[in-house]
Amino acid sequence: MILALGLALLPAGCAYAQSPCFQNDPTNLGALLGTSCTIGTVTYTWTSYSCNSNPTSLCPTSAGNIRMSQIDGYGCTTGDNISGGQPYVILFLQSNQLNINNPSVDENVNITIMGKEIGATNNWNWPHFCYQDGQTNYGAEDNKTTVYCGPNCTGTLAGVSEIRCDKQDNVAQMDGDPSLYCWDQTEPGSSGLYDNPPFNATFNPPSGGGSDMFKVDIDVTAPAGTVGMPNSALIYSVGTHLQP
């Protein structure tokens, strides 16, 4: 587990005098921890990374193994650069790093990334499975980005954009089609499944030009299977947008 790093708030007048987050693409979270950087008019301060898993080998060995990119349309198509059409996207992971397949004992992994942002009023979050099924039977994948906007939250999501892929939720929602939350969908803003308003959490910026804390949670879990009923869960990449 990587211990959290605490960072002081930047003065409001210096909020946008930072380097771009993607001077190199891809980059990795380890290279950005303890720094501030910009994507468009949004300033990020990257404060901590942690991972818990059973077994412990499921966790990436360090924040340096958390790949970050603006390239690949669905997180798996090499060369499909979407940064022009979706300039505020961050794709975390972009690999089959988190893949639990038919375990003989219960297995799970949770990654938490925390930071602060200045300049955003929208929070989009959605999964990419690289055209694989996100879960089978009782496996589950959950990806969630939370902006701690408090009284400045607007709409009904209270700053939380979350898409969960599991058997129970998917059978119960979206006309009973279990693939809809467990398969690649179109990008936000293009009338796809993950479009506004169901998964876009909106908020007003803090008064006086302050920052909001944010947290990205990525969870993959699968219980031990039985004969004829293997359980699995995976995530290829998680896409986030914190944008004006």
Residue 10, in any domain of the structure:
no
**C-alpha to C-alpha distance for 212 and 227, rounded to whole angstroms:** 48
Burial status of residue 39 (CB atoms within 10 A of its CB: 0-12, 13-18, 19 or more):
buried
Q: How many residues does the chain have?
A: 244
**84: containing domain:** 21-243
**C-alpha to C-alpha distance for 231 and 244, rounded to whole angstroms:** 39
Residue 141, in any domain of the structure:
yes
Residues 122-175 have pLDDT tens digits of 998 888 887 788 888 899 999 999 999 999 999 899 999 998 888 865 443 444
Measured CA angle at 47 (ends 41, 51), to 5 deg: 125
Residue 227, in any domain of the structure:
yes
Residue 80, in any domain of the structure:
yes
Number of domains in the chain: 1
**C-alpha to C-alpha distance for 76 and 129, rounded to whole angstroms:** 8
- Nearest CA to 33 out of 91, 150, 115 is that of 115
Residues 35-66 have pLDDT tens digits of 999 999 999 999 999 999 999 999 999 999 99
In the chain, the amino acid numbered 77 is T
